[in-house]
Amino acid sequence: MQNVPLLINGEFVTSESQQFIDVTNPINNQSIAKAPCATDREINLAVVSAKEAFLTWREVPVSERARVMMRYQQLLKDHHDELATILSGETGKTFADAKGDVWRGIEVVEQAMNVPAMMMGETAENVARGIDTYSYIQPLGVCLGITPFNFPAMIPLWMFPMAIACGNTFILKPSEQDPLTPNRLAELFMEAGAPKGVLSVIHGGKEQVNKLLNDPDIRAVSFVGSVPVGQHVYKTATDNMKRAQCFAGAKNHSVIMPDSNKERVLNNLVGASVGAAGQRCMAISVAVFVGETHHWIDELAELLKDVKPGLWDDESAGYGPLISPQAKAKVLSMIQQGKNEGATCLLDGSDFTLLGYEEGNWVGPTMFSDVTEEMEIYKQEIFGPVLCCVHVDTLEEAIALVNRNPYGNGTSIFTASGAAARKYQHEIEVGQVGINVPIPVPLPFFSFTGWKNSFYGDLHAYGKQAIRFYSETKTITARWVEDDIASGPNMTISLK
């Protein structure tokens, strides 16, 4: 069994720690690796090397930094299936789902290749007589990323390529539950030509996170995870005068209008609710049936009943296991709570097991109807393959329901009416809206824009907002009284 190495100053090193966390395969909970809890000395070395590397990396021309990203995205494409296989082995995701995880990360790296255009400043001539004003976009310094278990390729790739392309250096603290994929991402990044110290990878748990959050040399913190941890990271980072962007919980609603295409809606709800075992912050966990569409609920239950969890390489499997026994126990507890609260359990996946893999973290598709706002299964993020169905009479009631919810990560509406769609997108208090699109995750030339208790911070992930998060603006006001006389002609097209 391998001990997962740390990446410090361009070298993968065996940790000197005596504390390790088991990395298990969720299909049977057998150990496949051990992740170290990095020591204070190792964390200090990572920060120092990142700080030193920043002094030279920031001076590398932005076009050269972009070329590193070009090489990196090609390496990611070349190793796409290998990465997906590693990812499946430590998360239990189906191969198709794992490939999607990797690919969405590659798309962000491709956006990082466009960094020269995104780091252009502004200029105005003659703001006063003979005075010009212009601005430059410059990097911050050492940045930190803390990433969750559910997307061990995509979410690290949300963070470090954009930060490093801006001229920063970066320390990645991935989830201790699936560290093998992030480590392989880091290996390929070094192969792409990243200098020593530009990217570091530190493993561990809460103690290591707190050590990093309190380090005075780290300038900015990016986080994706649960609400309690997100609040802790945001408060600790900002108390230490750092920038922070923290993506937290969600309770995403899909509103189904009577004029929508029933077959398309039901098929979309199946994948959006239980795909990836419901372990997605953008999963649809509440279906809001408007008017007569509540008659579709039984048909939806029949479709969900046909979805079978399975092994990563089983092409017929709808999704894999949950990440851990603790995650399974929480989901089973919430299912029981829903029954106790009086919701109608049309489909119960609590007892599902996979033959030959009975020790795995399996939960079958589960669906409740007659769910109300007062129920815990409505109020809490279950993070499992559980769909809650709510019925309202009008679009106005649906909008009010969604807006009362404390989360604002994503939502969707299914309708054939442009007027209904326009009203919904305008009035809804949610950061990411889909119209006839079940999971409205934006492509990376836009930003991932959760609202309310789904996000703590000001500037969001990837897109233009990421550039602003990972950089500072310097504004210069200049007056030149005399011309700067050139020393001689330049007979080439090269800049000198």
Residue 405 has pLDDT above 80, yes or no: yes
Q: Shortest CA distance to 277 belongs to which of 448, 440, 149?
A: 149
The predicted-structure confidence for 38-85, as pLDDT tens digits, reads as follows: 999 999 999 999 999 999 999 999 999 999 999 999 999 999 999 999
Asked if 386 and 466 sit in the same domain, the reply is no
Strands (E), 373-430: 386-392, 407-408, 410-414
Residue 299 token pair:
């048909």
Asked if 324 and 377 sit in the same domain, the reply is yes
Question: For residue 495, what pLDDT is reported?
Answer: 56
Asked if 121 and 261 sit in the same domain, the reply is no
Alpha-carbon distances, residue 201 vs 4, 177, 190 (angstroms) = 11, 15, 12
What's the CATH number where 185 sits? Answer: 3.40.605.10
What's the CATH number where 326 sits? Answer: 3.40.309.10
Would residue 449 count as lying in a domain? no
Give the total number of structural domains in the chain: 2
Which residues, at least 6 apart from 167, have a Cβ–Cβ distance to it below 8 Å? Answer: 57, 58, 60, 62, 65, 138, 139, 471
Would residue 446 count as lying in a domain? no
Residue 496 has pLDDT above 90, yes or no: no
Residue 481 has pLDDT above 90, yes or no: no
**Between residues 283 and 491, the one the model is more confident about:** 283
Alpha-carbon distances, residue 221 vs 233, 328, 367, 470 (angstroms) = 8, 30, 37, 9
Asked if 194 and 325 sit in the same domain, the reply is no
The predicted-structure confidence for 224-254, as pLDDT tens digits, reads as follows: 999 999 999 999 999 999 999 999 999 999 9
Residue 485 has pLDDT above 70, yes or no: no
Question: For residue 55, what pLDDT is reported?
Answer: 98
Residue 353 has pLDDT above 80, yes or no: yes
Would residue 444 count as lying in a domain? no
Mean pLDDT of 312-331: 98
Asked if 178 and 213 sit in the same domain, the reply is yes
Residue 487 has pLDDT above 70, yes or no: no
Asked if 87 and 173 sit in the same domain, the reply is yes
Asked if 244 and 311 sit in the same domain, the reply is no
Average pLDDT over all residues of the chain: 96
Q: What is the DSSP letter of 23?
A: E
- Find out whether 29 and 23 touch, Cβ atoms under 8 Å: no
Which residues are catalytically annotated?
281
Say which residue the tokens 């999971």 belong to. Answer: 439
Would residue 36 count as lying in a domain? yes
Asked if 193 and 313 sit in the same domain, the reply is no
Would residue 495 count as lying in a domain? no
Q: Which residues pair with 473 in a beta bridge?
A: 137
Confidence band, pLDDT 50/70/90 cuts, at residue 493 = confident
Per-residue exposure over 300-322, b if at least 16 CB sit within 10 Å of its own CB, e if not: bbebbeebebbbbeeeebbbbbb
Mean pLDDT of 378-399: 98
Asked if 97 and 180 sit in the same domain, the reply is yes
Query: Domain limits at 13?
Result: 2-248+454-476
Question: For residue 1, what pLDDT is reported?
Answer: 73
Asked if 320 and 371 sit in the same domain, the reply is yes
Question: For residue 489, what pLDDT is reported?
Answer: 74
Rounded Cα distance, 492 and 470, in Å: 36
